[in-house]
Amino acid sequence: MKNKAIKYGIIGSVLLGSLAFTAGDNYFELSKNIDVFSSLYKDVNTYYVDEVEPSKLMRNCIDGMLKELDPFTNYFSQSQVETARIQQGGKFGGIGIEIEIVNSYPVVTSVWEAQPADKAGVRTGDIIKTIDGNDTKGRSKEEIEKFLVGQPKSQISLQLERGTSTQPTQLSLNLSREEIQETSVPFYGMVTPEVGCIKLKIFNENAGADVKHAFDSLKTANPGMKGVILDLRDNPGGLLHEAVNIVNIFIEKNQLVVTTKGKVDEWNKAFSTLNEPSDTKMPVVVITNSSSASASEIVSGTFQDYDRGVIIGQKTYGKGLVQVTKPLSYNTVLKVTTAKYYIPSGRCIQALNYAEKNADGSVKRIPDSLKVAFKTKNGRPVWDGGGVDPDVTLTKPEYSKISETLFTKHFIFDFASQYYAAHPTIADPAKFKLTDADFENFLAFIKGKDYSYSTDTETKLDKLKEIATDEKYFDAMQAEYDLIKKKIAADKEKDLVKHKAEIISVLENEIVGRYYYAYGKVKKKYQNDPEVAKAIELINNPTEYNAILTAKK
């Protein structure tokens, strides 16, 4: 239940008082414009020829004003406040499922282990037909999620449809909502006999304790562990103080982690590690990508600044802004950007300058010419103004067009549901393998279904045809054009076989999730993950690992 407007926000962990406005011109301008707006608002409501909705008009005004700032400054109406609290703290009354809308109905895409839905027998792939007697057809994902969430111990009834469209089974379930907390660490375990791995999904209020528990457990159970991987890919951030707590697991007490600086001096704060660490010597490799944001960047950037670990993957998102929430009248809330954050080297990693816009209205990125060099503890150069650059840059793994299409059109998902229904048990995630016969069954399953797609080559070829037609050249080249199209089509027919290994891997990941929940799905995926493989390689090669963390002379 992620609202895009706060997806990359560090949720305020700083308690704030009221803001004193600057005396003089600012106060006069504020008073004048409030008076002008108040008069205009009343006159529009009174004299406009058609009826207007005052609250809707006001909401549009507020949203328009905040749109001029940054996407992280938002207003929450009374009805949105509870949803915002859920998104910030990760706790809510629910049944422990995730859903997507498929063919106008909500479909269960994930069941959280040991939560009410799991205990009641809800399965991934189930179609939710009604919730408390309310028909779900045609409703948005947000509407369905509001139906599912409620006070802990409150009752909820579901009408489910399970099985194929030709042989559906109807189920009626009554459940009691429980307080749910989104899991911050869906996986921790050994990816080799000597290398552990911790996947951190979000920085909620238990993230620091969860990561510490994961690391200490791995270290205790595996005395020969040589290093640990911290996977921050696709982690949008969360609570600032939890980022500090996670850094503290690996870095000494009383070390600066992050400083916040804004225009209100008394709100500027420095956050340092407070506790004795679990381990300050064991090699750590942090994996990031372009969706690692905010608190993820505090952690990865601090590891880099103290040369405590090697960062691999892709440049992070570049979100160096801090938000706090401020209560307003009538139980409404303002989440407002109040500061930028700076990591130990002194750099700010904010990539976009929201104060300046391009001619087309887009936000300006900070140009390379204005980026400033800083130094890590060992003297390595690092730069501000655009996310955390990894020490080892890796090309982001991309799926083939055929695999992507099979996934987005839900054929992978639907086959996994069919497989789950036909197989009561499977092997451990690390050992589970689909056979050639299983793949043939999948080919039979998608036979006759539409999994067509356009390649980049076809898209560019169509653009060429458009330009050539406009310039009156197409008639002369049509024969060659048609021949190329036929050759591409013929080659695409072989894509299922060409990408068999990749398709099987995606199928295995989806199937394993049916039996072993998020933990199994992540564990299985790591088996064929090139970035995890590179992290393992670095941990197993101390010479290369240490050379990366050493300043070049």
The CATH code of the domain that includes 159 is 2.30.42.10
331 phi and psi angles, rounded to 5 deg: 60, 30
What DSSP letter does each residue of 298-327 carry, written as one string? HHHHHHHHTT-SEEEES------EEEEEEE
Q: Is 494 labeled as catalytic in the residue annotation?
A: no
Mean of pLDDT values over 241-270: 95
Residue 452: C-alpha distances to residues 49, 401, 408, 456, 483 (Å): 51, 10, 12, 13, 19
The answer on 419 and 486 residing in a single domain is: yes
For the chain, helix (H) and strand (E) counts, in that order, are: 17, 23
For residue 86, name the pLDDT band (cuts at 50, 70, 90). Answer: low
Residue 367, sorted as left (phi over 0), alpha (psi -120 to 50) or beta, turns out to be beta
Residue 83 has a pLDDT of 62
The answer on 297 and 351 residing in a single domain is: yes
| Annotated active-site residue in 13, 184, 294, 505 | 294
The answer on 304 and 411 residing in a single domain is: no
Q: Give the 3-state secondary structure of residue 365.
A: strand
Residue 549 has a pLDDT of 98
The answer on 113 and 150 residing in a single domain is: yes
User: Poorest-confidence range of 39-43, 391-395, 410-414, 487-491?
Assistant: 487-491
> Does residue 538 sit within a domain?
no
The answer on 384 and 240 residing in a single domain is: yes
Supply the DSSP symbol for 249: T
Residue 374 has a pLDDT of 96
> Does residue 494 sit within a domain?
yes
Please give the residue that has the higher pLDDT: either 163 or 98: 98
> pLDDT at residue 112 above 70?
yes
Residue 194 CB partners (closer than 8 Å, separation 6+)? 222, 224, 225, 226, 227, 539, 540
The answer on 364 and 296 residing in a single domain is: yes
Mean of pLDDT values over 506-520: 97
Which residue among 396, 426, 456 closes a domain? 396
CA distance 328 to 350: 28
The answer on 412 and 369 residing in a single domain is: no
Q: What is the CATH number of the domain that holds 325?
A: 3.90.226.10
Say if pTM beats, i.e. exceeds, 0.85.
Answer: yes
Average pLDDT value for the chain: 90
The answer on 521 and 430 residing in a single domain is: yes
CA distance 284 to 518: 23
Which residue among 374, 396, 418 closes a domain? 396
Report which of 243, 288, 296 is spatially closest to residue 391, judged by C-alpha positions: 288
For residue 183, name the pLDDT band (cuts at 50, 70, 90). Answer: confident
The answer on 414 and 521 residing in a single domain is: yes
Q: What is the largest CA-CA distance in the chain?
A: 79
For residue 266, name the pLDDT band (cuts at 50, 70, 90). Answer: confident
Residue 10: Cβ-neighbour burial (10 angstroms; 0-12, 13-18, 19+)? buried
Q: Is 524 labeled as catalytic in the residue annotation?
A: no
Residue 175: Cβ-neighbour burial (10 angstroms; 0-12, 13-18, 19+)? buried
The domain in which residue 98 lies consists of 91-181
Give per-residue pLDDT as tens, 407-462.
999 999 999 999 999 999 999 999 999 999 999 999 999 999 999 888 888 889 99
The answer on 391 and 417 residing in a single domain is: no
> Does residue 533 sit within a domain?
no
> pLDDT at residue 118 above 70?
yes
Residue 16 has a pLDDT of 34
Contact 118, 180 (CB under 8 A): no
| Annotated active-site residue in 199, 201, 319, 492 | 319
Residue 376 has a pLDDT of 98
> Does residue 544 sit within a domain?
no
> Does residue 58 sit within a domain?
no
> Does residue 535 sit within a domain?
no
Contact 165, 198 (CB under 8 A): no
Say how many domains are in the chain. Answer: 3
The answer on 475 and 359 residing in a single domain is: no
Which residue among 344, 364, 396 closes a domain? 396
CA distance 231 to 171: 38
> pLDDT at residue 4 above 60?
no
At 478, the amino acid letter reads Q
> Does residue 465 sit within a domain?
yes
Residue 538 CB partners (closer than 8 Å, separation 6+)? 283, 285, 310, 312, 392, 544, 545, 548
Residue 110 has a pLDDT of 94
| Annotated active-site residue in 126, 231, 305, 384 | 305
Q: Is 305 labeled as catalytic in the residue annotation?
A: yes
CA distance 318 to 363: 13
The answer on 354 and 237 residing in a single domain is: yes
Percent of the chain with pLDDT over 90: 76
Helix H or strand E segment including 41: helix 25-47
Residue in this structure with the two tokens 């406040």, named with its chain if needed: 81
User: Poorest-confidence range of 178-182, 219-223, 438-442, 465-469?
Assistant: 178-182
> pLDDT at residue 272 above 60?
yes
β strands within 226-349, DSSP E: 227-231, 256-261, 269-272, 284-288, 310-313, 321-327, 333-342
48 phi and psi angles, rounded to 5 deg: -60, 140
